[in-house]
């Protein structure tokens, strides 16, 4: 996994949640482990689009992309 992308994804998560996490790992699940609700997920998506200068395709399976930190990083790496 690309370390630069990983760090930026973590920063986007913390910005969307308005808090710092000390225990985020690549396998951290966004909803279950980080307690991201629907509003935080939308804010996270917007933050990612701003940070990485792209837009998510609404036809993509968002639940698969926004499952874990690792799944988000892999999606961005493969764009």
Q: 21 in the Ramachandran plot: left (φ > 0), alpha (ψ -120 to 50) or beta?
A: beta
Residue 74 CB neighbour total at 10 angstroms: 15
Q: Considering the chain, what percentage of its residues have pLDDT values greater than 90? A: 87
Does residue 72 contact residue 29 with C-beta atoms inside 8 Å? no
Provide the pLDDT for residue 59. Answer: 82
Is a pLDDT exceeding 90 seen at residue 78?
Answer: yes
Instruction: Give φ, ψ of 13 to 5 degrees.
Output: -60, -50
Provide the pLDDT for residue 34. Answer: 97
Confidence class for position 1, pLDDT limits 50, 70, 90? confident
Alpha helices in the chain (DSSP H): 3-17, 38-52, 62-65, 69-77
Confidence class for position 15, pLDDT limits 50, 70, 90? very high
């Amino acid at each position: 996994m690309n370390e630069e992308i990983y760090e930026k994804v973590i920063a986007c998560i913390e910005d969307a949640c308005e808090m710092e996490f000390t225990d985020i790992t690549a396998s951290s699940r966004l909803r279950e482990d980080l307690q991201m609700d629907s509003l935080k997920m939308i804010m996270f998506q917007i933050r990612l689009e701003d940070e990485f200068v792209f837009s998510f395709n609404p036809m993509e399976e968002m639940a698969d992309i926004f499952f874990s930190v690792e799944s988000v990083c892999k999606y961005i790496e493969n764009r």
